[in-house]
């Protein structure tokens, strides 16, 4: 069995997807359609812009989705498609890419939703009030307890359960800093403050969740061609109403990536294709499931290797 997985924020690099667009008309068409949906040339920023502007949340989210879908359309052009997957999953914004690839969302709607999601998440908390930190070397239960102990009346919670030894915390800046110090005292190998602009996947994102609830209510969602393993549940979902609810919950809820991969491996998935920019998910998957076979599909050479 096979799962197609789609990366989240942090994978962005200037130039991503350009080789795909040059090699595959279907990939080039993805970037053109995203540009049209947003009313601006996001592709110009992706290929020729500066990394600081590309990394702004409202740009990075639709840009990473466009790159993933360009890679997916290139796969389709070579005879591989959603019928070759048993499940799809994505890390945070990657969940939207997964749903688009599986036919649950149109490309134009996905681009507009992610632009709005990025803006809403950025605007939910004034700059400087929130923070995130990666805690390395402790498991989820330990980090979850540290976050609770450090909160002291503020928001501090485990936001991304990435793999057995990497958990990201999110919340008020002072609380996250307290938690990072506490984590080191309790045996963490490292506690790294992350260069992010807002405390994603925490209760502080509630204003953004309200924005997304309204936006998602106005968008058509179809049943995906294969089940989505949802971030906030770490279990499969196919019913459009449930998908809509979980996409709203995802804004403030934890990304349960470790449990999602464990579910997939337990369901018989032996092969994971990471579709889009970077290889971050592949590293996590190998640390979660030692037996998993992982492929990256991000440049034409990856597809050539797959065909061979």
| Mean per-residue pLDDT, 264-279 | 96
Does residue 304 surpass a pLDDT of 80?
A: yes
Query: pLDDT band at residue 56, thresholds of 50, 70 and 90?
Result: confident
- Asked if 159 and 254 touch (Cβ cutoff 8 Å), the reply is yes
Dist CA 99 CA 146 (whole Å): 34
Dist CA 189 CA 152 (whole Å): 24
| Mean per-residue pLDDT, 187-211 | 92
Tens-place pLDDT, residues 3-36: 999 999 888 999 999 999 999 999 999 999 999 9
- Residues annotated as part of the active site: 92, 201
Tens-place pLDDT, residues 90-104: 999 999 999 999 999
Give me the pLDDT at residue 249, please.
Answer: 97
């Amino acid at each position: 069995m096979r799962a197609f997985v789609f990366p989240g924020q942090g994978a962005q690099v200037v130039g991503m997807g350009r080789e795909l667009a040059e090699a595959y008309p279907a990939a080039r068409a993805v970037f053109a359609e995203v540009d049209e949906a947003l009313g601006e040339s996001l592709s110009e920023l992706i290929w020729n812009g500066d990394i600081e502007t590309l990394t702004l949340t409202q740009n990075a989210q639709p840009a990473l989705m466009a790159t993933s879908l360009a890679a997916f359309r290139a796969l389709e052009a070579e005879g591989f498609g959603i019928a070759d997957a048993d499940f799809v999953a994505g890390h945070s914004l990657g969940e939207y890419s997964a749903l688009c690839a599986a036919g649950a969302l149109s490309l134009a709607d996905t681009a507009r939703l992610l632009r709005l999601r990025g803006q809403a998440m950025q605007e939910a908390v004034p700059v400087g009030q929130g923070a995130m930190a990666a805690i390395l070397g402790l498991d989820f239960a330990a980090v979850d307890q540290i976050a609770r102990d450090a909160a002291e009346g503020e928001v501090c919670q485990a936001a991304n359960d990435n793999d057995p030894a990497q958990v990201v915390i999110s919340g008020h800046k002072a609380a996250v800093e307290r938690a990072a110090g506490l984590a080191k005292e309790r045996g963490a190998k490292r506690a790294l403050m992350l260069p992010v602009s807002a405390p994603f996947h925490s209760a502080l994102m509630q204003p953004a969740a309200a924005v997304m609830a309204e936006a998602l209510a106005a968008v058509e969602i179809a049943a995906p061609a294969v089940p989505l393993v949802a971030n906030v549940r770490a279990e499969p979902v196919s019913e459009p109403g449930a998908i809509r609810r979980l996409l709203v919950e995802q804004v403030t809820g934890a990304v349960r990536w470790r449990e999602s991969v464990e579910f997939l491996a337990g369901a018989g998935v032996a092969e994971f294709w990471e579709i889009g920019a970077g290889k971050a998910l592949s590293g996590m998957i190998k640390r979660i499931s030692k037996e998993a076979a992982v492929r990256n599909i991000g440049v034409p050479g990856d597809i050539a290797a797959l065909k061979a």
